[in-house]
Protein backbone atom coordinates (compact mmCIF):
# COMPACT_ATOMS: atom_id res chain seq x y z
CA UNK A 1 0.00 0.00 0.00
CA UNK A 2 1.25 3.46 -0.88
CA UNK A 3 1.69 6.13 1.80
CA UNK A 4 0.33 9.41 0.48
CA UNK A 5 1.91 12.35 2.31
CA UNK A 6 0.77 15.92 1.61
CA UNK A 7 3.02 18.90 2.29
CA UNK A 8 0.68 21.68 3.36
CA UNK A 9 0.81 25.27 4.57
CA UNK A 10 -1.48 28.13 5.35
CA UNK A 11 0.60 30.80 3.63
CA UNK A 12 2.13 30.67 0.17
CA UNK A 13 5.85 30.73 -0.51
CA UNK A 14 6.90 29.08 2.76
CA UNK A 15 8.77 26.20 1.07
CA UNK A 16 6.29 23.38 0.30
CA UNK A 17 7.58 22.67 -3.20
CA UNK A 18 11.21 22.89 -2.10
CA UNK A 19 10.50 20.53 0.79
CA UNK A 20 8.57 18.11 -1.46
CA UNK A 21 11.52 17.87 -3.84
CA UNK A 22 14.25 17.64 -1.21
CA UNK A 23 12.38 15.24 1.06
CA UNK A 24 11.63 13.11 -2.01
CA UNK A 25 15.32 13.00 -2.86
CA UNK A 26 16.28 12.22 0.75
CA UNK A 27 13.74 9.37 0.93
CA UNK A 28 14.94 7.91 -2.35
CA UNK A 29 18.52 8.00 -1.00
CA UNK A 30 17.22 5.79 1.82
CA UNK A 31 16.12 3.28 -0.82
CA UNK A 32 12.42 4.22 -0.91
CA UNK A 33 10.48 4.27 -4.16
CA UNK A 34 8.99 7.76 -4.22
CA UNK A 35 6.80 9.71 -6.64
CA UNK A 36 6.21 13.45 -6.36
CA UNK A 37 2.76 14.68 -7.36
CA UNK A 38 1.91 18.32 -8.04
CA UNK A 39 -1.70 19.04 -7.05
CA UNK A 40 -1.36 22.81 -7.15
CA UNK A 41 -3.71 23.22 -10.10
CA UNK A 42 -3.87 27.03 -10.14
CA UNK A 43 -0.25 28.00 -9.60
CA UNK A 44 1.86 24.86 -10.02
CA UNK A 45 5.63 25.04 -9.73
CA UNK A 46 6.97 21.55 -8.97
CA UNK A 47 8.03 20.89 -12.55
CA UNK A 48 9.41 24.43 -12.91
CA UNK A 49 11.61 23.90 -9.88
CA UNK A 50 12.82 20.66 -11.50
CA UNK A 51 13.71 22.48 -14.71
CA UNK A 52 10.73 21.31 -16.80
CA UNK A 53 9.07 24.50 -18.01
CA UNK A 54 6.43 23.09 -20.34
CA UNK A 55 6.01 19.32 -19.94
CA UNK A 56 4.02 17.92 -22.89
CA UNK A 57 1.86 15.51 -20.85
CA UNK A 58 0.54 16.57 -17.46
CA UNK A 59 -1.84 15.66 -14.66
CA UNK A 60 -4.43 17.83 -16.44
CA UNK A 61 -4.34 15.54 -19.50
CA UNK A 62 -4.64 12.46 -17.29
CA UNK A 63 -7.65 13.87 -15.43
CA UNK A 64 -9.33 14.53 -18.80
CA UNK A 65 -8.45 10.95 -19.89
CA UNK A 66 -6.28 12.16 -22.73
CA UNK A 67 -3.11 10.53 -21.35
CA UNK A 68 -2.32 7.32 -19.49
CA UNK A 69 -0.61 7.31 -16.09
CA UNK A 70 2.73 6.11 -17.49
CA UNK A 71 2.75 9.03 -19.94
CA UNK A 72 2.59 11.68 -17.20
CA UNK A 73 5.27 10.23 -14.89
CA UNK A 74 8.67 11.80 -15.63
CA UNK A 75 12.10 10.78 -14.41
CA UNK A 76 14.33 13.69 -13.42
CA UNK A 77 18.11 13.52 -13.94
CA UNK A 78 18.49 13.35 -10.13
CA UNK A 79 16.53 10.07 -10.24
CA UNK A 80 13.27 11.52 -8.89
CA UNK A 81 9.92 10.45 -10.39
CA UNK A 82 7.36 13.21 -10.64
CA UNK A 83 3.97 14.11 -12.08
CA UNK A 84 3.68 17.70 -13.29
CA UNK A 85 0.64 19.94 -13.55
CA UNK A 86 0.24 22.26 -16.51
CA UNK A 87 1.31 25.86 -16.10
CA UNK A 88 -0.97 27.03 -18.91
CA UNK A 89 -3.96 29.25 -18.16
CA UNK A 90 -6.15 27.37 -20.68
CA UNK A 91 -5.38 24.06 -18.96
CA UNK A 92 -6.26 25.51 -15.55
CA UNK A 93 -9.68 26.50 -16.92
CA UNK A 94 -10.34 22.95 -18.13
CA UNK A 95 -9.32 21.13 -14.91
CA UNK A 96 -11.54 20.70 -11.87
CA UNK A 97 -10.26 19.98 -8.35
CA UNK A 98 -12.94 17.33 -7.73
CA UNK A 99 -11.28 15.19 -10.44
CA UNK A 100 -8.13 14.87 -8.29
CA UNK A 101 -9.34 11.71 -6.50
CA UNK A 102 -8.76 9.81 -9.74
CA UNK A 103 -4.98 10.25 -9.67
CA UNK A 104 -4.77 8.95 -6.10
CA UNK A 105 -6.73 5.83 -7.04
CA UNK A 106 -4.41 5.15 -9.97
CA UNK A 107 -1.20 5.82 -8.02
CA UNK A 108 -2.05 3.47 -5.18
CA UNK A 109 0.46 0.59 -5.06
CA UNK A 110 2.74 2.12 -7.71
CA UNK A 111 5.30 3.53 -5.19
CA UNK A 112 6.04 3.15 -1.49
CA UNK A 113 5.49 6.85 -0.97
CA UNK A 114 3.81 9.63 -2.90
CA UNK A 115 4.72 13.14 -1.73
CA UNK A 116 1.97 15.56 -2.65
CA UNK A 117 2.86 19.18 -3.29
CA UNK A 118 -0.22 21.31 -2.60
CA UNK A 119 -1.76 24.73 -3.01
CA UNK A 120 -1.61 26.81 0.16
CA UNK A 121 -4.69 27.78 2.14
CA UNK A 122 -8.05 26.09 2.47
CA UNK A 123 -9.33 26.12 -1.11
CA UNK A 124 -11.07 23.41 -3.06
CA UNK A 125 -7.88 21.75 -4.32
CA UNK A 126 -6.44 21.14 -0.87
CA UNK A 127 -9.75 19.77 0.42
CA UNK A 128 -9.83 17.19 -2.37
CA UNK A 129 -6.19 16.31 -1.74
CA UNK A 130 -6.57 15.81 2.00
CA UNK A 131 -9.54 13.47 1.44
CA UNK A 132 -7.12 11.18 -0.34
CA UNK A 133 -3.88 11.44 1.66
CA UNK A 134 -2.87 9.50 4.76
CA UNK A 135 -0.51 12.01 6.36
CA UNK A 136 0.22 15.72 6.17
CA UNK A 137 3.48 17.50 6.94
CA UNK A 138 3.11 21.15 7.90
CA UNK A 139 5.58 23.59 6.35
CA UNK A 140 5.90 26.93 8.16
CA UNK A 141 8.17 29.92 8.52
CA UNK A 142 8.81 31.14 12.07
CA UNK A 143 6.34 34.02 12.16
CA UNK A 144 2.94 34.27 13.77
CA UNK A 145 0.88 34.68 10.60
CA UNK A 146 2.51 31.65 8.94
CA UNK A 147 1.88 29.53 12.03
CA UNK A 148 -1.69 30.73 12.65
CA UNK A 149 -2.63 30.08 9.02
CA UNK A 150 -0.95 26.66 9.22
CA UNK A 151 -3.17 25.85 12.19
CA UNK A 152 -6.26 26.00 9.96
CA UNK A 153 -4.63 23.77 7.33
CA UNK A 154 -3.66 21.34 10.06
CA UNK A 155 -7.23 21.24 11.34
CA UNK A 156 -8.50 20.55 7.82
CA UNK A 157 -5.95 17.73 7.52
CA UNK A 158 -7.07 16.23 10.83
CA UNK A 159 -10.76 16.58 9.88
CA UNK A 160 -9.91 14.45 6.87
CA UNK A 161 -8.28 11.78 9.07
CA UNK A 162 -4.69 12.57 8.14
CA UNK A 163 -1.96 11.75 10.64
CA UNK A 164 0.43 14.66 11.24
CA UNK A 165 4.05 13.45 11.53
CA UNK A 166 5.37 16.93 12.25
CA UNK A 167 6.41 20.40 11.20
CA UNK A 168 9.13 21.39 8.76
CA UNK A 169 10.30 24.80 9.96
CA UNK A 170 11.71 26.43 6.85
CA UNK A 171 13.83 29.59 6.70
CA UNK A 172 14.06 29.07 10.42
CA UNK A 173 16.48 31.97 10.91
CA UNK A 174 14.71 34.40 8.57
CA UNK A 175 12.13 36.45 10.37
CA UNK A 176 12.29 39.81 12.14
CA UNK A 177 9.99 38.82 14.97
CA UNK A 178 10.74 35.15 15.16
CA UNK A 179 8.60 32.76 17.17
CA UNK A 180 10.55 30.35 19.32
CA UNK A 181 10.47 26.63 18.41
CA UNK A 182 8.50 25.69 21.50
CA UNK A 183 5.94 28.43 20.80
CA UNK A 184 5.38 27.03 17.29
CA UNK A 185 5.07 23.47 18.63
CA UNK A 186 2.65 24.64 21.29
CA UNK A 187 0.38 26.52 18.86
CA UNK A 188 0.30 23.61 16.42
CA UNK A 189 0.43 20.80 19.04
CA UNK A 190 2.94 19.12 16.76
CA UNK A 191 6.71 18.50 16.95
CA UNK A 192 9.23 20.23 14.70
CA UNK A 193 10.97 17.41 12.82
CA UNK A 194 13.25 19.51 10.63
CA UNK A 195 14.70 23.02 10.71
CA UNK A 196 15.97 24.40 7.42
CA UNK A 197 17.79 27.72 7.54
CA UNK A 198 17.76 30.25 4.73
CA UNK A 199 20.26 28.69 2.34
CA UNK A 200 21.51 30.32 -0.87
CA UNK A 201 22.39 26.86 -2.17
CA UNK A 202 18.67 25.95 -2.14
CA UNK A 203 18.02 28.89 -4.49
CA UNK A 204 21.06 28.05 -6.62
CA UNK A 205 20.03 24.40 -6.95
CA UNK A 206 16.41 25.35 -7.73
CA UNK A 207 17.65 27.75 -10.43
CA UNK A 208 19.40 24.77 -12.01
CA UNK A 209 16.27 22.62 -11.66
CA UNK A 210 17.89 20.36 -9.06
CA UNK A 211 17.23 19.31 -5.46
CA UNK A 212 19.80 20.91 -3.15
CA UNK A 213 20.56 17.51 -1.63
CA UNK A 214 21.48 16.16 -5.06
CA UNK A 215 23.84 19.01 -5.99
CA UNK A 216 25.17 19.75 -2.51
CA UNK A 217 24.63 16.61 -0.42
CA UNK A 218 26.79 17.78 2.48
CA UNK A 219 25.27 21.20 3.23
CA UNK A 220 23.35 21.68 6.47
CA UNK A 221 19.98 21.93 4.71
CA UNK A 222 20.62 18.68 2.82
CA UNK A 223 21.49 16.92 6.07
CA UNK A 224 18.34 18.30 7.69
CA UNK A 225 16.17 16.92 4.87
CA UNK A 226 17.88 13.54 5.40
CA UNK A 227 16.89 13.76 9.07
CA UNK A 228 13.25 14.42 8.16
CA UNK A 229 13.33 11.48 5.73
CA UNK A 230 14.61 9.19 8.46
CA UNK A 231 11.87 10.38 10.80
CA UNK A 232 9.22 9.70 8.13
CA UNK A 233 10.57 6.18 7.58
CA UNK A 234 10.19 5.27 11.24
CA UNK A 235 7.11 7.41 12.04
CA UNK A 236 4.46 4.75 11.60
CA UNK A 237 6.43 2.36 13.82
CA UNK A 238 6.71 4.78 16.74
N1 LIG B 1 15.44 27.44 3.11
C2 LIG B 1 15.43 28.20 2.02
N3 LIG B 1 16.46 29.05 1.77
C4 LIG B 1 16.45 29.86 0.68
N5 LIG B 1 15.46 29.89 -0.24
C6 LIG B 1 14.41 29.06 -0.05
C7 LIG B 1 14.34 28.18 1.07
N8 LIG B 1 13.17 27.48 0.97
C9 LIG B 1 12.56 27.89 -0.15
N10 LIG B 1 13.30 28.84 -0.77
C11 LIG B 1 12.94 29.58 -2.00
O12 LIG B 1 11.77 30.33 -1.69
C13 LIG B 1 10.88 30.34 -2.80
C14 LIG B 1 9.52 29.77 -2.36
O15 LIG B 1 9.70 28.40 -2.01
P16 LIG B 1 8.66 27.30 -2.52
O17 LIG B 1 8.34 27.50 -3.95
O18 LIG B 1 9.20 25.98 -2.12
O19 LIG B 1 7.41 27.68 -1.62
P20 LIG B 1 5.92 27.14 -1.72
O21 LIG B 1 5.39 27.05 -0.35
O22 LIG B 1 5.89 25.91 -2.55
O23 LIG B 1 5.22 28.34 -2.52
P24 LIG B 1 3.74 28.34 -3.19
O25 LIG B 1 2.78 28.51 -2.05
O26 LIG B 1 3.79 29.51 -4.10
O27 LIG B 1 3.56 27.03 -3.89
C28 LIG B 1 11.57 29.54 -3.91
O29 LIG B 1 12.23 30.44 -4.75
C30 LIG B 1 12.59 28.68 -3.16
O31 LIG B 1 13.72 28.37 -3.95
MG1 LIG C 1 4.77 25.51 -4.30
Residue 127, pLDDT > 80, answer yes
Confidence bin at 237 (pLDDT 50/70/90) = low
Looking at all shown ligands, the one closest to residue 11's CA atom is 1
Q: Tell if the pTM clears 0.95, that is, is over it.
A: yes
Q: Measured from the CB, is residue 12 less than 6 Å from ligand 1?
A: yes
| DSSP state at residue 97 | G
Domain ranges of the chain: 3-235
Of 86, 90, 58, 76, nearest in space to 20 by CA:
76
Taking only the tens place, the pLDDT of each residue in 76-119 is 999 999 999 998 888 888 888 889 999 999 999 999 999 999 99
Å from CA of 119 to ligand 2 middle: 7
Read off the pLDDT of each residue in 201-222 and give the average, rounded to a whole number. 97
> Domain 3-235 in CATH: superfamily?
P-loop containing nucleotide triphosphate hydrolases (3.40.50.300)
Helix (H, G, I), strand (E, B) or coil at 139: strand
Q: Determine if residue 15 is left, alpha or beta; phi over 0 gives left, psi from -120 to 50 gives alpha, anything else beta.
A: left
Å from CA of 15 to ligand 1 middle: 4
Model pLDDT, residue 185: 98
Among 6, 15, 219, the mutation site with the greatest number of ligand 1 atoms within 8 A of its Cβ is 15
For the CA of 20, the closest atom of ligand 1 is 18
| Helices 144-159/181-188 angle, 10° precision | 30
Amino acid sequence: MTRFIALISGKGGVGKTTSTICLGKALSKLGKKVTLLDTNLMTPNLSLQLGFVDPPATLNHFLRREKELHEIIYTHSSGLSFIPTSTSYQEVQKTHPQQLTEIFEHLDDTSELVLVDTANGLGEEISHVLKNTDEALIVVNPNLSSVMDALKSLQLARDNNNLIPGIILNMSNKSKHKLKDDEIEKILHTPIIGKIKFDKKIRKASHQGMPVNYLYPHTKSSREFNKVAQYICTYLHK
